[in-house]
Amino acid sequence: MTELNFPPLRDLGVAFPLAAFGLIACALSAVGAGAMLSGAMSGAGGLLGAVLMIGFVAPLAVFGAVFVVLALYMVCNGLAVTVGDDAIETRRTLFGLVVARKRIAKSELAAIEPEIASRYQSLFGAEPIYLLIARDTTRRRRVVVAESLRGEARMNRTRNLIKRAAGLAP
């Protein structure tokens, strides 16, 4: 049996810029909304202008909040993978609580494929960050079995480890 653990707080370098962008977007929308509300009190023209501008400011606040929530999720989630005798099992945790479990039987396992996930990439990183995906023989199911693998060499080492444990490679 082989166990892999991808603990929380492993993607701080990627999550920080997302959170910063989200907070800046929220702050800009709050400043814009404040300026529009003061103009809305001046009369009917100001009120109409404020209503029209809110259509542009409100989505900025929503996008900013989404980026902050995504950054929090990236920092607080963990992944535990167990390659057992008959299956690969994964447990996704959030704040230490199991929120998702997935299982793929070795008899259904077709391949372990690398994938470059755009959400984990950073402008400041020189190497891509990989995920490893287990695919079944019908290619309908997709199970993440490794993530936050910085660089091709680390991805290949982890992929070979999982493949050997799963019986896909000698």
**Of 55 and 78, the one with more pLDDT:** 78
Is residue 124 exposed (0-12), middle (13-18) or buried (19+ Cβ within 10 Å)?
Answer: exposed
pLDDT tens column, 76-98? 889 999 888 888 899 999 888 88
DSSP letters spanning 99-118: EEEEEEETTTEEEEEEEE-G
Sign of the alpha-carbon dihedral angle for 150, 151, 153, 155: positive
pLDDT tens column, 4-24? 888 888 877 778 888 999 999
The amino acid present at 157, given as its one-letter code, is R
Sign of the alpha-carbon dihedral angle for 132, 113, 151, 160: positive
pLDDT tens column, 131-146? 888 888 876 778 888 8
Is residue 28 exposed (0-12), middle (13-18) or buried (19+ Cβ within 10 Å)?
Answer: middle
What is the domain partition of the chain in residue ranges? 2-8+78-166, 12-75
- Give yes or no for residue 112 having a pLDDT over 80: yes
User: What pLDDT shows up at residue 65?
Assistant: 93
Mean pLDDT of 57-84: 88
User: What pLDDT shows up at residue 64?
Assistant: 92
Which range has the worst mean pLDDT, 53-67, 118-132, 138-152?
A: 118-132
